[in-house]
Each structure stands twice: as C-alpha cells, then as structure tokens.
Structure 1
Amino acid sequence: MGHAVGDVLGLAAAVAVSPLPVVALILVLATPRGRPNGILFAVGWLLGLSALGAIMLAVGGGGGASAHRHPATWVGALKLALGLLLTLFAVRQWRRRPRDPSQAQLPKWMAAIDRFTPVKVLGLGLLLSAANAKNAPLTIAAGASVSSAGIAVPQQIGALAIFVVIASLGVLAPLAVCLCMGERATTVLTGWRDWAVQHNVAVMAALFFVLGLKLLGDGIDALTS
C-alpha cells in the first residue's frame, strides 16, 4: 500500500493546488448562508473526487490494471494520453495568461454564486472536483496507479482515501479559516482570493506542464517495462 500511496502523493498535492475552486469556495463563504453552504461545497468536492476515483478503481479491477504486480499496457497508454492532454492544456493556459496579473478576471458564472441554492452549491463542489480540466485527469491517473499497484481492494480503498484527503486540503483550508476565525477570516480570505484570481492562469499552466511531463514519463515507463 505504501508504494501506491507514494505514487499518488504528487498527484494529490497538485489537485490541492486549485486556485479557481478556492476562489469559488471563498465567494460561497461570503454569502449570507456562507458556513452551511461552504460545508455543502466541501461535501460536493469530496464526493466528486471519491466517486471519480472509485469508478477508476472499479474499471481497473475489472480491466486487469495489474499484471504480475506491474501496470497493464492500457494503464500506461492511459497515463500517456492524460500526460499529453495536460501538456496541451499547459500550452493553452500559458498563451491565455494576462500580461498584467492585476487585469485577471473571474469567470462570469462566479458573479451568480450569491444566488446559488444549497443544491447548486453542492453541485458546484462536485463539478469543480470531478469535472475540472486539471483535477479530473489527475484523479483518473491516481485511480489507475492505485488499481495497478497489485494490492488488495481494502488497501486500494485506503490509498484512494489518502489521495482524496490530501487533494482536498487546499479547498478545505478556507472553510477551516472561516469556521475557526469567525469575522477575522474575512481579511485573510480576501487576500487569498485576490492572489488566486491574479495568479490562477500562471499556476495552472505550470502545474499542467509539470504533471503532464510526469504522466508522460509514467506512461512511457509502463509501456516499455
């Protein structure tokens, strides 16, 4: 199990560094029902990562992801494809970055967050974890790595749980600040929000590029070993 956890730690850390979901949660926390809605957002986030990872474990188990304790060929091909996808995303993000970070703008849908119902807040957390252009490929790659590690199902579930917890630290941090600091949290969260908005594109481009190269390397290694 230790080997499986080691394989997904870097992927989990990359999911944790998610500026846009952090901004979305901070905006949710600023609404009149900030705390309960923030908890709903966090629940949606956790459910999204867990469900996507569990689906990948099921696919890996049924598809023979591990052959003689080595990743199957299709696992290597999947990582290669995901690595190529992330690398292309990195180039796209870098070309779209604002020349002046202070001119960075939030997506238009974020302006409506204060009108979201609890169900929509839950769905937002779910979508930003499981349907995010960065998080979805990384979670799929993590599930593939765990399912191909040649360990028992309970250990696979444990490794996936560790991935989900670590991958959620970045998004859960604003919620923890809000719950622990009360009114004083406003200043802290405003600073976090402004930094994340200004540097979102550059951070995402760098993460896409580094992780894309890592998955490309993992895929090539799995296919040639």
Structure 2
Amino acid sequence: MGKALGDVLGLAAGVAVSPLPVVAIILVLATPRGRPNGLLFAAGWMLGLSALGAVMLVIGGSSSASTNKQPATWVGALHLALGVLLLLFGAQLWRKRPANASEARLPKWMAAIDRFTPVKIFGLGTALAAANAKNAPLTIAAGASISSSGLPIGQQIVTLALFVIIASLGVLAPLAVLLLMGERAKSMLGSWKDWAALHNIAIMAVLFFVLGLKLLGNGIGDLTA
C-alpha cells in the first residue's frame, strides 16, 4: 500500500494547491452562517473527490494490474492523455493571464456566494472538486493508479481515502483556522483570499505544466515498463 500511496501523493498535493477553491471557501466562511456553510463546502469537496476516485476504482477493478505487477496498458495511456490535456490547459491559461496581477478578476458567481443556500454551497464544493479542469484529471489519474496497484479492495479504499484527505488540506486549512481562532482569523483569511485571487491564473498555469509533465512521465514509464 505504501507504494500506491507514494504514487498518488504528488497528485494529491496538486489538487490541494487550488487557489480558486481556497478563495471560494474563505468567501463561504464570511457568510452569516460561515461555520456550518464551511463544513458543507468541505463535505461537498471531499465527496466530489471520493466519488470520482471511486468510479475509477470500479472501472479499473482488481484485474487492472498486469501479471508481471506492472501497471496495465490502459493506465499508462490514460496518464499520457491526461498529461497532454493538462499541458494544453496550462498553455491556454498562460496565454490568457493578465499582464498585471492586479488586473485579475474572480468569477462573477463568487459575488453571490453570500446568497447561496446550503444545498448550493454543498454543490459548489462538489463541483470545484470533481468538475475542475485540474482537479478532475488528477483525481482520475490517482484512482487509475490505485486500481492498477494490485492491492486488495480494502487497501485500495484506504489509499483513496488518504488521497482525498491530503488533497483536501488546502480547503480544510481556512476552515480549521476559523474554527480555532474565531473572529481573529478574519484578517488572516482575508489576506489569503486576496493573495490567491491575485495569483490564481499564474499559479494554475504553472501547476498545469508541472503536473502535466509528471503525468506524461508516468504514462511513458507505464507503457515502456
């Protein structure tokens, strides 16, 4: 199980470093029902990652590892395709980045978060985890790696759970700060939000490139093993 977890740690870290979801949960925490709304957002986020990863475990099944203990061919091909996809997304983001970070703009829906119902907040967390252009490919790749590890299903589930926890650290950190510090956390969280909003596009573009290259390398290694 240690090897399988080691294979997905980098992917989990890539999901955890997600500026836009961090900004979103900080805005959620600033709503009148900040704490319960923040818990709902985090629960939705973790459910989105878990569901996407579980789908890949089901698709892969216990037979996805080849007989010589190397990853199945489809896993290598998937890693390769996802790597190319992330590189393309990274190039597109880099071209569209503002010349001045101060010109960066957040999505318009963020201005309406304070009017979101609990159901919408839960759904927002789920969508930012499972339907995000960076997080979805990384979670799919992680699920494929786990399913091809040859581990018993119980250990696969534990590995996926650890992946989800690590991948959720970026979103859980603001929530933990608020729960531990109360009102004193507001200025700190505000600074985090401002910084993440300013540098969101540049950070995401770099992450797309780095993680895309990682998946390309994994795919080539899988296919030539």
TM-score of the superposition, structure 1-length normalised? 0.98
Cα distance in 2, alignment partners of residues 65 and 111 from structure 1 = 45
Query: 1:41-83: CA deviations, max 9, x gaps?
Result: 0000010001110110110106x32112211111111110000
The offset of 1:16, in angstroms, is 0.4
Question: Which residue does 2:65 correspond to in 1?
Answer: 66
Q: Which residue of 2 aligns with 1:18?
A: 18
**CA distance in 1 between partners of 2:204 and 2:148 (Å):** 28
Provide the rounded CA distance (Å) in 1 between the counterparts of 2:168 and 2:160: 12
What amino acid is aligned across from residue 221 of structure 1 in structure 2? G
Instruction: Please list, as runs of the form range in 1=range in 2, the aligned pairs for 1:36-185 lying within 5 A after superposition.
Output: 36-61=36-61, 64-68=63-67, 69-185=69-185
Indicate the RMSD between aligned Cα atoms, in angstroms: 0.8
Structure 1 stretches of 4+ moved >2 Å:
none
Cα shift at 1:2: 0.4
Letter in 1 for 2:96: R
- Offset at residue 187 of structure 1 (A): 0.2
Q: Deviations over 1:11-45 (max 9, x none)?
A: 00010000000000000011111111010000000
For residue 31 of structure 2, give the secondary structure of its aligned residue in structure 1.
Answer: coil
The residue type paired with residue 101 of structure 1 is A
Structure 2 CA distance for aligned equivalents of residues 162 and 106 of structure 1: 31
User: 1:220 aligns to what SS in structure 2?
Assistant: helix
Q: 2:43 & 2:214 partners in 1: Cα distance?
A: 29
Counterparts of 1:190 and 1:98, CA distance in 2: 22
Alignment length (residue pairs): 224
Q: CA deviation at 1:183?
A: 0.6
SS at match of 1:71: coil
Q: Which residue identity does 1:31 align to in structure 2?
A: T
Q: Aligned equivalents of 1:89 and 1:213: distance in 2? A: 12
State the 1:221 CA deviation.
Answer: 1.2
Aligned-partner residue type, residue 27 of structure 1: L
Counterpart residue identity of residue 64, structure 2: A
1:216 aligned to 2:216? yes
Deviations 1:162-197 (A, max 9, x none): 100000001000001111111111100000000000
Secondary structure in 2 aligned to 1:67? coil
Residues in 2 aligned to 1:134 and 1:126: alpha-carbon distance in whole angstroms: 14
Q: Which runs of 5+ in 2 are unaligned?
A: none
The 1-side partners of 2:186 and 2:103 are apart by 23
Q: What secondary structure is seen at the aligned counterpart in 2 of 1:178?
A: helix
Instruction: Write the distance in 2 (CA, Å) between the matches of 1:14 and 1:216.
Output: 15
Shift of 1:103: 1.3
CA distance in 2, matches of 1:22, 1:32: 18
CA–CA distance in structure 1, aligned partners of residues 64 and 126 of structure 2: 26
Secondary structure of 1:70's match?
Answer: coil
Partner of 1:216, secondary structure, is: helix
Question: 2 CA distance for matches of 1:128 and 1:206?
Answer: 19
TM-score scaled by length of structure 2? 0.98
